[in-house]
Chain A
């Protein structure tokens, strides 16, 4: 970390202890993605404005442009954002390049304990280096890739009978990826209520991180590992293991057989769209989308079911982590007020309200509450999914690692070039080159 960031962090942390509430009314800007949870946060933050006297502005950017815009903002040393709810993978770069201020002393001074938050989110959103007690963010929004399905279709007796007849087991939320593909095939191009529907909506987006998030979500359960657990950055045989190859082949088969036409560049909003418009029977998407389905006129009211990412051929089951922590931007001139916001946001009663409004709180006091699983139809699926998460590299070079992955996966899965083995072998060599450039290999 650079000295400037360090000094800022120390100075602030020292100041934080004696921070007088609302010393000066500031105009704070919070930057995040433009999506449903952000709208909920705007509502939630009204309480903060009333309590502190500060006023809140928001700069929301849609997901496909979010990383591009905000990393550009951070790298240009911009002062647009005082608070940043940045994506989990940015943490390494933002910590090492001094974009975020370190929060350890601030947490200590204000009695905020990381043990109170879901472990996976602390590792995923706050820590750099990983698994060390160095915190750069407060877990703000827990998220994980899971699946939704059209419960109302799955429960139609005629379809159930036909499915059982064809595949020999009951039509229900799939437990393995093999079942998922059967079901997707079963629904593909089927006429339901006079409309042609398709099997599943999956991530295929090329520009930012879409296809990587989607394919990794499947690959983990097929045995893909980022590195040798014994030897960091040793990737040969882990990234391109036979299991990983089978997983990538599976993803391509799923794309080829069972997705709607033109689904060659879809991410979260395309998935929401396909599911809400009744185009698909199943949909891969982050959990944040789920509250929106419950409220939706066409797929709400019990028509939507949720299931955890299915298990792979050997019974392994993992899911891709999403979600973000909230950080204070080192270039901001209003860091005191920004820290006040985090302090307020970490309060258990605020976190409880956050969950109520559709924000996925990471506070154990909220998620471990006995009433939590029954509080929403998707609550249990969320908890189960959060228990099996894995995340992409959070290295400072994450963007290079990610872009190489995007290219390899999109070239193979969507453009149909080469084989899965070639794609993953290529990935090993791309990643090796990047780590060599970084001096880590």
Chain B
């Protein structure tokens, strides 16, 4: 675009636009910064009025997040001798002793297992289906594609009613397998739609050349299409992972302990003792992976959130 273009913004317009956007960005990021900061506050600082912007950072929130503590009488504390570690010291100043690990680690791990398990499955199945939709004449293709999409219109709570009964009958309640299957089913519509878009963009001449060279159709798919679609598959995988990672409604209704993920667990931290720093710490650790992924994905973001309807 030349400097004389009639539509290029003048430096002054750019400056105004830039400052307004920066102002909005600062406002929008403020709650997130506040969450991260609260994780490093002491419980007293977290509920101070007026809210403390400058404070002495402490890891109390993180210690409380990962441990369960019980109150000890002064006599018991004396018999215990000096604290053996930095986290012991933090807990002792409130007259408490660490009685064991909290459930946060387990729940976080469940999120990882269920997230990755369902992502793998939905991308695997999605790639196959997307390839078929992209390259072959599948009878009723448009209806099938629309059907796949419309499964996302049902409110999750409504879906959860029969799923709850089904899982109960099959013994899948509160199991990793059940949650992986469920999240796969939810994600597969996204996965098929996105991947079909990506595979459509791969010129079919490549495969045709391979077929002429004596490859079977399946070999052509595996050796020619898959490598070409790698970026698309990777970004689809990240979208599926983010969905499974963030999901709350199914998790809260269909898991109670063994397979419970972090989103239904984090809100319960506050019910125990109004320990805002611990909640903030748990929230921060949980949100960081998604923020990293978002930054990695920024080029394909639009495509992912619109089911491939809008491409840049």
A residues in contact (CB < 8 Å) with B = 34-36, 39-40, 42-43, 59, 61-65, 69-70, 72-73, 75-78, 80, 269-270, 272-273, 277, 292, 295, 297
Contact = CB atoms under 8 A, between A and B. Distances in A.
Given A78-B256, A80-B257, A295-B95, 8 more contacts: A34-B272, A39-B70, A43-B99, A62-B271, A64-B271, A65-B267, A72-B256, A270-B274
Contact of B257 (A59, A62, A75): A59
Interface string B98-135: 01000000000000000000000000000000000000
Looking at B68, B70, B164, B256, which has the most chain A CB atoms within 10 Å of its CB? Answer: B256
B173 interface: yes
A359 to B, nearest CB: 13
13 contacts: A64-B271, A65-B268, A69-B256, A72-B256, A73-B256, A75-B168, A76-B164, A78-B174, A78-B256, A80-B256, A80-B257, A269-B273, A272-B274
Interface of B: 47, 68, 70-71, 95, 99, 164, 167-168, 173-174, 253-254, 256-258, 267-268, 270-274
A269 B271 contact: yes
Contact of B253 (A62, A72, A272): A72
Contacts of B68: 39
Q: Which 8 A-B pairs have the closest CB atoms?
A: A62-B271, A76-B173, A73-B256, A39-B70, A80-B257, A273-B274, A76-B168, A62-B268
Contacts of A295: 71, 95
B257 A77 contact: no
Given A39-B70, A77-B173, A78-B174, A70 B272 contact: no
A43 B70 contact: yes
A269 B274 CA distance: 7
If over half of A's interface residues share one DSSP class (helix, strand or loop), that class is named, otherwise mixed; here it is helix
Given A39-B99, A61-B268, A62-B268, A73 B70 contact: no
A73 to B, nearest CB: 4
A34 B257 CA distance: 14
B256 A70 contact: yes
Contact of A77 (B168, B258, B267, B273): B168
B260 to A, nearest CB: 9
Nearest to B174: A78
B71 A39 contact: yes
B257 A269 contact: no
A146 B277 CA distance: 30
Contacts of B174: 73, 76, 78, 80
A297 B253 CA distance: 39
A269 B256 contact: no
A292 B257 CA distance: 28
B256 A34 contact: no
A273 B47 CA distance: 11
Nearest to A57: B257
Nearest to B258: A80
Contact of B70 (A42, A72, A77): A42
Contacts of B168: 75-77
A73 B256 CA distance: 6
Contacts of A36: 71
A78 B99 contact: no
Contacts of A65: 267-268, 271
Contacts of B274: 269-270, 272-273
Nearest to A40: B70
A206 to B, nearest CB: 14
A65 B255 CA distance: 13
Nearest to B175: A78
A63 B256 CA distance: 14
A61 to B, nearest CB: 6
Contacts of B164: 76
Contacts of B47: 277
Contacts of B70: 39-40, 42-43
Given A72-B253, A73-B174, A78-B174, A42 B272 contact: no
B268 A78 contact: no
Nearest to B71: A295
B272 A269 contact: yes
Contacts of B268: 34, 61-62, 64-65
Contact of A63 (B95, B253, B267, B271): B271
A76 B167 contact: yes
Looking at A40, A59, A80, A273, which has the most chain B CB atoms within 10 Å of its CB? Answer: A80
A273 B257 CA distance: 27
A78 B174 CA distance: 8
Nearest to B253: A72
Contacts of A40: 70
Contacts of B267: 65
A42 B99 contact: yes
Contacts of A59: 257
B76 to A, nearest CB: 10
